């Protein structure tokens, strides 16, 4: 049960980082001196990182909802 919660936490963190990278690529967040700021490559990278975060989150949810076999 605790492993599932830890995996869900990691998924949330990865998802949030993906959203931040996406917003930096769109010039909405972050310092203008960042290499990610206004960079179209980081728009795509941020989207993929966010999707991976959702997949990790759903894997953690599946682990925590799994019933032990008796």
Whole-angstrom Cα distance, residue 70 to residue 13? 34
When pLDDT is cut at 50, 70 and 90, the band that residue 69 belongs to is low
CA angle 55, 58, 61 (to 5 degrees): 155
Model's pTM, two decimal places? 0.89
Residue 1 has pLDDT above 70, yes or no: no
pLDDT number for residue 66: 87
pLDDT number for residue 51: 98
DSSP code of residue 28: S
Q: Read off the pLDDT of residues 14-49 as tens digits, 9 standing for 90 and up.
A: 999 999 999 999 999 989 898 999 999 999 999 999
Indicate the domain borders of the chain. 2-65
Residue 62 has pLDDT above 90, yes or no: yes
Length of the chain: 70
């Amino acid at each position: 049960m605790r492993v599932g919660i830890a995996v869900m936490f990691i998924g949330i963190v990865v998802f949030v980082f993906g959203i931040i990278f996406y917003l930096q690529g769109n010039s909405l967040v972050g310092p203008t001196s960042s290499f990610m700021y206004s960079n179209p490559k980081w728009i795509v990278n941020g989207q993929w990182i966010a999707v991976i975060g959702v997949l990790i989150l759903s894997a953690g949810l599946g682990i925590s909802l799994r019933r032990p076999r008796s």
